[in-house]
Amino acid sequence: MMRNPPTLNPHVDLLERFRACARLHPNRVAHRSADRSLTYAELASGIDATAALIWSQLSPDGSPVVIVGHKEPEMLMGFLGSVQAGHPYIPLDTSLPAKRIEQIIANSGARLVLTPQRVGEAIDRTPRAKRRPEASIDADAAFYIIFTSGSTGTPKGVTITLDNLTGFVDWMRREQDFQPGGETFLNQAPFSFDLSVMDTYSSLTTGGTLVSLTAREIETPRLLFDTLRSSGITTWVSTPSFANWCLAQRDWDARMLPRLRRFLFCGETLPIALAGELLERFPDAAVWNTYGPTEATVATTSIRIRPSMLSHYATLPVGAPRPGTRIVLVDAVGQYLAAEGASGEIIIAGRNVSPGYLNQPDLTSARFFDFEGQRAYRTGDIGHFEDGLLFFDGRVDDQIKLNGYRIELGDVESNIRALPEVREAIVVPVERDGRVESLIGFVATDVLTPGETDFQTSQRLRRALFERVPAYMVPRTLRRVERWPLTPNGKVDRRALARLAP
Interface residue list for ligand AMP (CB under 6 A):
148, 194, 266-270, 289, 291, 293-294, 318, 379, 381, 392, 401, 406
The Cα 372–Cα 374 span in angstroms is: 6
What are the start-end ranges of the E strands in 136-271? 142-148, 156-161, 184-187, 209-212, 235-238, 262-265
Least distance CB 274 / ligand AMP (angstroms):
12
- In this complex, which beta carbon is closest to ligand AMP, that of residue 269 or of residue 477? 269
- In this complex, which beta carbon is closest to ligand AMP, that of residue 228 or of residue 270? 270
Q: Contact at 8 Å (CB) between 166 and 83?
A: no
- In this complex, which beta carbon is closest to ligand AMP, that of residue 88 or of residue 267? 267
Least distance CB 61 / ligand AMP (angstroms):
28
- In this complex, which beta carbon is closest to ligand AMP, that of residue 19 or of residue 378? 378
Q: Are strands 399-402 and 405-408 parallel, antiparallel or unpaired?
A: antiparallel
Q: Contact at 8 Å (CB) between 234 and 91?
A: no
Q: Contact at 8 Å (CB) between 349 and 328?
A: yes
Q: Contact at 8 Å (CB) between 113 and 66?
A: yes
Least distance CB 231 / ligand AMP (angstroms):
24
- In this complex, which beta carbon is closest to ligand AMP, that of residue 392 or of residue 442? 392
Least distance CB 194 / ligand AMP (angstroms):
6
Least distance CB 147 / ligand AMP (angstroms):
11
- In this complex, which beta carbon is closest to ligand AMP, that of residue 126 or of residue 294? 294
Phi, psi of 211 (to 5 degrees): -110, 110
Least distance CB 289 / ligand AMP (angstroms):
5
If phi over 0 gives left and psi between -120 and 50 gives alpha, with beta otherwise, what is residue 9?
beta
- In this complex, which beta carbon is closest to ligand AMP, that of residue 268 or of residue 413? 268
Q: Contact at 8 Å (CB) between 165 and 201?
A: yes
Coil, helix or strand at residue 303: strand
Phi, psi of 5 (to 5 degrees): -65, 145
Rg, Å, the chain Cα set: 23
Provide DSSP, 433-481: TTEEEEEEEEEEES---TT--HHHHHHHHHHHHHTTS-GGGS-SEEEE-
- In this complex, which beta carbon is closest to ligand AMP, that of residue 336 or of residue 472? 472
- In this complex, which beta carbon is closest to ligand AMP, that of residue 278 or of residue 464? 278
Least distance CB 276 / ligand AMP (angstroms):
16
Least distance CB 198 / ligand AMP (angstroms):
10
**Nearest-10 Cα torsion for 66, 69, 75, 80:** 10
Long-range contacts of 397-403 (CB under 8 A, 24+ apart): 397/151, 398/151, 399/149, 399/151, 400/429, 400/436, 401/267, 401/268, 401/269, 401/436, 402/429, 402/436, 402/437, 402/438, 402/439, 402/472, 403/239, 403/241, 403/472
Least distance CB 278 / ligand AMP (angstroms):
15
Least distance CB 241 / ligand AMP (angstroms):
12
Least distance CB 158 / ligand AMP (angstroms):
8
- In this complex, which beta carbon is closest to ligand AMP, that of residue 114 or of residue 346? 346
The Cα 251–Cα 281 span in angstroms is: 9
Closest CA to 79 of 18, 24, 37: 18
- In this complex, which beta carbon is closest to ligand AMP, that of residue 40 or of residue 368? 368
Q: Which residue type is seen at 162? A: L
